[in-house]
Amino acid sequence: MLSIMESDQAQQDPLDPRFVLAEADQARQRLAAGLRLPAGLHPALAAAVAVQVGAAAYGIAAQTTAGLAVALAGVAVLMGGAAVLLHRFRRINGVRIDGLSSQIVLGTGGTSTLVYMGGFGAATWAAFESRWWLVAVAAVAAGVGYAIGTLRWWHAYRNDPAAHAGGVSPRLLAAGAVLACLGFVALLIAG
């Protein structure tokens, strides 16, 4: 009976670390429940990814300076769109969530990554075969899948903000950048 009284006293004592941690956890839950996504985030993200995938597929298949310019323009569309969406989120909510940033900019969720890679591979193959309608279908599928992956992450974040708030580790980002550079070099050598 004494331990129950001590526990009740700890819950009431604002200097007790357990009380402070419980209050912080409740505040995090209230914050997560009150966050709103900007209107049109998912369609805009899907469109930006679709443009980037289609442009990259064309640029890789063309293997020209103009093709490279188109591929880089696609990256600019995606990065510009992501920056606008993240800015709108921060303006609406007054906070930044690293996990959301890495989901939107880098597609670091499992669903987003797998769908993006599949769509990108299919679009690139279709571009080499000059099947432009299939490039468009694969690019749109990649964009929609990417947006769905982001939506799945958002729901998971709202249910457990502590587990999903963090972004991707710098080591994982560095490994991804190295792999991307090696892939680009391999494409240049093979072309």
Q: Give one DSSP letter per residue of 53-65, joined into a string.
A: HHHHHHHHHH-SH
pLDDT score for 176 = 67
Q: Which residue has the tokens 């939506």?
A: 151
- Distance from C-alpha of 107 to C-alpha of 124, rounded to nearest angstrom: 19
Residues of the chain with pLDDT under 50: 1-2, 5-6, 9-10
Segment 1-50, tens digit of pLDDT: 445 544 554 456 667 777 766 676 666 666 666 688 888 989 999 999 99
Long-range contacts of 119-122 (CB under 8 A, 24+ apart): 119/53, 119/143, 119/145, 120/53, 120/56, 120/57
